């Protein structure tokens, strides 16, 4: 197969690279400069995006072109690193607003769509409908990733059965490299540390009926493990109170409606909450009213819940994992609120558990030490999407006072720029904003089209075309239909490559 041709109307390809043990380390985005076929405008133009995690080194390259006229002798050619939501939304906006532009999207997995494929809960198919929009963008005429978990740094965090929610989600969603996680669901209780939507997703999947999950695109190995699960209680623990809970009303409603599952609140957690409701902003008011209503309707504490139980617990911060060999309980400090912050008291509480999932956020990791990266925050240092230089002059000044502060033609979008926050709509708005900066910088000649830097040469390198991805997609759908599911995700890179290699362009 030929490299991406600069004169083709549309070129779409996926370059996979090595899949062996030697490929376990990501290739730095700066390595794009080592290959010489596709040229990028002036000093090069790269937009680094958040993508999913993988244990292999792969390249997913999708080429788009927007034709407004045939007169322009030099065209803007843009490289976007990351084929997740941020990457596709950025490409979508640029294609619409920057005439005569060509875009290559580079991704380390052999399949696109990032967290939409590997992060969205399998029982939320409506959220995955955005894939249709991304596919239209791809069929128009490495990578960084939030792939390292935040840790609590408390005693015994390395005990067996202490996992991260990111790992658990990757396991049931079929992210390659996590199929052998094999979480131990033989105990009676699971504790989720953190109260965001990811934590609620994990709770819902664990507490849901297997018959309901069979209709989703959850992996077959996860379905089999969940069918043998003995977990009947899930604790959702947060350091602050109900008024600060991070989950949304949609996720809470789904939990309250879950069949054969009772939600059990602690009444003491809601002291003075009801009297605060009239002064709350509307979104917070609605979710608080729903919690208070559910609390008022629940059975007395001396009546054991029927079936499985979902128990949110507030004002608790973990300080120690208790156990010999594997986790047996979590010791918490009891918090009080001061100006909206959790302040520890002298009180302690220990709650038994058989499995723990941390859900306290992710952070990006740097694979290119030439980029101005803040390891503490897990973000590329940027101002509105424009990447800041590593060594800024006038450090005693504010960023606004420094003139020569940006890396020309280098931008960050998605979680790499903002940290892992918000929902897909948040990422879309951020990506559109960064893409608008890109268009304005081209139109104002901030990025000059009078030079180029080498791009990626696919000659002699194994890669999978867009037709190859479509073949993988068809095979997953076929396997799913045989089981009454939307698709059965492939999780082995080798299998994906074999299917893709048999597809013709």
For position 83, which CATH number holds?
A: 3.40.50.720
- Residue 347 located in a structural domain: yes
Q: Is 180 part of any known ligand binding site?
A: no
280 and 255 assigned to the same domain: yes
Identify the domain boundary among 318, 342, 358.
Answer: 358
Q: Is 492 part of any known ligand binding site?
A: no
- Residue 226: what pLDDT? 96
Q: Is 171 part of any known ligand binding site?
A: no
- Residue 445 located in a structural domain: yes
Domain count, the chain: 3
434 and 465 assigned to the same domain: no
Decide: 414 and 430 in contact? Cβ < 8 Å.
yes
Q: Is 299 part of any known ligand binding site?
A: no
Q: Is 240 part of any known ligand binding site?
A: yes
319 and 266 assigned to the same domain: yes
- Residue 240 located in a structural domain: yes
Block means of pLDDT (10 residues each) for the chain, 505 residues, are 28 29 31 32 33 35 48 70 85 86 79 78 75 70 47 91 92 90 96 94 95 92 95 97 94 93 95 94 95 91 79 97 95 95 96 95 72 83 88 57 75 84 83 91 81 65 76 91 90 86 69
Decide: 278 and 201 in contact? Cβ < 8 Å.
no
- Residue 36 located in a structural domain: no
327 and 190 assigned to the same domain: yes
- Residue 186 located in a structural domain: yes
Nearest in space to 132 (alpha carbons), one of 115, 119, 113: 113
Q: What is the DSSP letter of 320?
A: E
209 and 258 assigned to the same domain: yes
310 and 439 assigned to the same domain: no
- Residue 455: what pLDDT? 64
- Residue 299 located in a structural domain: yes
Q: Is 424 part of any known ligand binding site?
A: yes
332 and 219 assigned to the same domain: yes
Domain of residue 181, CATH code? 3.50.50.60
Long-range contacts of 300-303 (CB under 8 A, 24+ apart): 301/264, 301/267
Q: Is 343 part of any known ligand binding site?
A: no
Helix spans in 281-360 (H):
282-297
330 and 185 assigned to the same domain: yes
279 and 244 assigned to the same domain: yes
Q: Is 253 left (phi over 0), alpha (psi -120 to 50) or beta?
A: alpha
320 and 440 assigned to the same domain: no
196 and 329 assigned to the same domain: yes
Query: Model-level pTM?
Result: 0.68
Q: What is the DSSP letter of 4?
A: P
Residues 352-379: b if buried by 16+ CB within 10 A, e if exposed: ebbbbbbbbbbbbbbbbeebbbeeeebb
Q: Is 239 part of any known ligand binding site?
A: yes
Q: Quick one: which H or E segment has residue 115?
A: helix 114-118
- Residue 402: what pLDDT? 55
How far is it, in rounded angstroms, from Cα 424 to Cα 283? 18
- Residue 188: what pLDDT? 96
Q: Is 422 part of any known ligand binding site?
A: yes
Neighbour-count burial of 78, counting CB atoms closer than 10 A to its CB (0-12 exposed, 13-18 middle, 19+ buried): buried
Please give the C-alpha separations between residue 485 and each of 291, 443, 472, in angstroms, as whole numbers: 33, 47, 16
Q: Is 115 part of any known ligand binding site?
A: yes
Q: Which domain holds residue 474?
A: 457-504
Q: Is 251 part of any known ligand binding site?
A: yes
- Residue 122 located in a structural domain: yes
């Amino acid at each position: 197969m030929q490299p991406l041709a600069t004169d083709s109307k549309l070129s779409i390809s996926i370059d996979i690279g090595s899949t062996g043990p030697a490929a376990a380390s990501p290739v730095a985005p700066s390595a794009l400069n080592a290959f010489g076929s596709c040229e990028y405008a002036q000093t090069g133009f790269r937009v680094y995006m958040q993508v999913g995690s993988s244990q292999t080194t792969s390249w997913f390259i999708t080429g788009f072109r927007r034709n407004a006229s045939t007169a322009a002798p030099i065209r803007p050619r843009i490289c976007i690193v990351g084929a997740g939501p941020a990457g596709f939304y950025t490409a979508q906006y640029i294609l619409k607003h920057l005439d005569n532009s060509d875009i290559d999207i580079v991704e380390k997995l052999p399949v696109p769509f990032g967290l939409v494929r590997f992060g969205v809960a399998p029982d939320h198919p409506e959220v995955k409908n955005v894939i249709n929009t991304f596919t239209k963008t791809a069929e128009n005429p490495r990578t960084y990733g939030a792939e390292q978990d935040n840790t609590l740094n408390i005693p015994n965090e390395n005990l067996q059965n202490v996992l991260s929610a990111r790992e658990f989600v990757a396991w049931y969603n079929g992210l390659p490299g996590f199929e052998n996680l094999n979480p131990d669901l033989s105990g009676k209780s699971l504790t989720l540390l953190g109260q965001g939507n990811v934590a609620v997703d994990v709770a819902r999947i664990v507490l849901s009926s297997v018959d309901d999950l069979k209709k989703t695109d959850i992996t077959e190995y996860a379905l089999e493990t969940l069918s043998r699960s003995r977990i009947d209680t899930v604790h959702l623990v947060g350091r602050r109170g109900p008024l600060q809970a991070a989950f949304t009303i949609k996720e809470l409603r789904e939990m309250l409606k879950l069949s054969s599952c009772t939600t059990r609140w602690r009444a003491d957690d809601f002291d003075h909450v009801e009297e605060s409701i009239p002064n709350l902003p509307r979104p917070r008011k609605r979710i608080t009213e729903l919690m208070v209503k559910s609390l008022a309707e629940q059975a007395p504490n001396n009546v054991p819940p029927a079936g499985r139980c979902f128990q949110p617990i507030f004002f608790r911060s973990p300080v120690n994992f208790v156990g010999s060999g594997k986790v047996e309980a979590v010791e918490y400090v009891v918090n009080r609120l001061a100006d909206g912050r959790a302040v520890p008291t002298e009180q302690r509480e220990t709650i038994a558990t058989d499995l723990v999932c941390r859900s306290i956020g992710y952070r990006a990791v740097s694979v290119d030490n030439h980029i101005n990266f803040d390891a503490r925050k897990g973000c590329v240092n940027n101002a509105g999407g424009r990447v800041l230089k590593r060594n800024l002059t006038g450090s005693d000044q504010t960023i606004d006072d420094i003139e020569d502060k940006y890396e020309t033609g280098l931008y960050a979008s998605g979680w790499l720029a903002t940290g892992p926050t918000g929902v897909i709509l948040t990422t879309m708005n951020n990506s559109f904003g960064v893409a608008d900066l890109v268009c304005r910088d081209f139109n104002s000649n901030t990025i000059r089209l009078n030079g180029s830097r080498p791009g990626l040469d696919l000659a002699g390198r194994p890669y999978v075309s867009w037709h190859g991805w479509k073949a993988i997609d068809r095979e997953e759908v076929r396997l799913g239909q045989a089981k009454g599911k939307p698709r059965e995700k492939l999780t082995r890179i080798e299998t994906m490559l074999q299917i893709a290699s048999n597809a013709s362009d």
